[in-house]
Structure 1
């Protein structure tokens, strides 16, 4: 699918297949095209090319109200003069369902989101999280085959956002609804999705499970966007399918090459990406360790982040907090190393 506005292409030849009952997150920075993609699926944007198929039926030219999708936006868009129950009932009234059927469906939807006792309240009498759950109940009340969500938790504080994330996961498991979920929050995508599509400049950089994408990012952009990562300049010593040896300062270190990438040529300048939690910190050097100087020690409860300066780069190391981390001081000399499968090699960005 392609979506263009004049000379600007917001969605550039994207192919995305979502399985029935699957929860897929569209993740990317602002301007990456994720909301445009969702709005095209919803019917609020018209693709310039390509098709949108639901169970094999072409819905590309259907207006939004004929697609039958549930939609939840960041702004709750609740009717302030209507009760919670009447807000949830609204899509059923528009579909002309009998009153008894509407009442039963509303009661079930409010029970799903644990808001049954709040049925007669007005939206202004609810917290932000409760209002978002009303919007969710309204989107689910007619049991849509597809639920589209555009950053629905963006207005909530962190603790409440984490609580509602778990509620949405529970509802997804109970109902088996297919969900397409837009977010810029990488942690949210990792927690909630069965698969994640990372977008950049209107294209999908990678489409994979959270574990697959985190452990085996397909590009330096994905490695840096999904989770924390360290990037080190290196030069290829030798390379083959899937693996390479690179030089960092006077050390030769192993690295993995993305499965679909061409083996790097000897002498090529590359970037080495290593997750902070995959780096070990030692007091003594080894043949495959890099000397470093501690520049920051950041205690975060269960973990401690140690920022180190080495070979012209600043590397973050994530360690479990213990007596040893508590003794680390700014200015200490340490030695950093990682396993053969911890570092991934990517072409150097221009």
Structure 2
């Protein structure tokens, strides 16, 4: 991560957490003048400072992990200047930064992450345009995931048109390298956006497209079928919705037998209880919906239980309980 991007991200996260610069310096035992220089882009951030801010903000080390160590920083800079000489270490470093951003998404508001996320995304896609050699396809995977993550951030922030453009680009990048897992995830995010827009036609369309994407992981297919079923149920297509739920249930064992894909690490059996809850809510099976959503929320890891994306499931739980 560039120093400018780190400074902007840290400032936004501190503001979100209710900390002034002086209060943050006092809480982390840093000289306010030093912290000011870092956050105003006049001095490079140190790993020690980043870890101290992680502790203050409760971000579990993710903020520190957005920083590249000196060797990786030099490696990435060289690849950015001459993408035709891309090496494996550069791709590993960029994948690590992306992983850190994904973890920040579990604790921070999307609006705080969007500027730095999009800056990183643009840097990676620029590198991809000139990349050559045996590591290009792996870089394309990172680029596709970065683009879809940018689309996901924008979708959560309801910047709908920009989100759709990025998610379409992510599907094209995934198709270019024949990665069905990444393509299915980008389509899944389009279904999520349609649900926020109150468009059940889009919910059914995009989740069904994700579920039947060649190369999708069984856990993806299971969750996408359930969410497509919720859209169909809302449209009054109850028989089709029930068939999709039955098909999803047949995938349960296969999905549970495999670890979730790295690009959709949250797709555990517990998480898919949330999707089963949404399907049952659409089918007006309120007691079942409440049971599944309650179990799904309870089964999330501690660091995910208060993530912003869980809010719609908590709202769904309220509707299920009210309908019982």
TM-score by length of 2: 0.27
Q: Greater helix percent: which structure?
A: 2
TM-score by length of 1: 0.25
Q: Larger relative CO (CA 8 A, sep 6+): 1 or 2? A: 1
Bigger Rg over Cα:
1
